[in-house]
Amino acid sequence: YVSFELFVRPAIRALMGLTDVHRPTARARLSAEKALTSPDGRRQFLRGRYDAEAGTVTPVGGSGSHLIAALAQADALIVVDEDVTSVEPGTETDVVLLG
């Protein structure tokens, strides 16, 4: 799903002649009980729920591609850059808005 959203969907929209091919993004504070972790050197896109009023994003489910139930709850992808191994609660991060 993430690969489709990041690569295929923009390509299809570009072939359709659209100029706005990517999903919108926002900055949000991580609202979580514990830090998000990621392997060094790997960019991760984790499922989350975005609250525009509060300016926060909350992780839903885990990071495995098999967790389809978490995808159904998500309306955003939390971006963890490749040079980051941990995102602490309260830290501002980029999110890709899906809804």
Beta strands in 1-99 (DSSP E): 25-30, 36-37, 44-51, 56-59, 76-80, 86-87, 92-97
The class of domain 24-97 in CATH terms is mainly beta
pLDDT at 61: 79
Give the pLDDT means over successive 10-residue stretches in the chain (99 positions).
93 97 97 93 94 97 66 91 96 96
- Provide the 8-state DSSP code for 85: S
Coil, helix or strand at residue 23: coil
What would the two tokens of residue 29 be?
Answer: 């504070």
Going from N- to C-terminal start, the domains of the chain cover 24-97
pLDDT at 68: 74
pTM of the model: 0.87
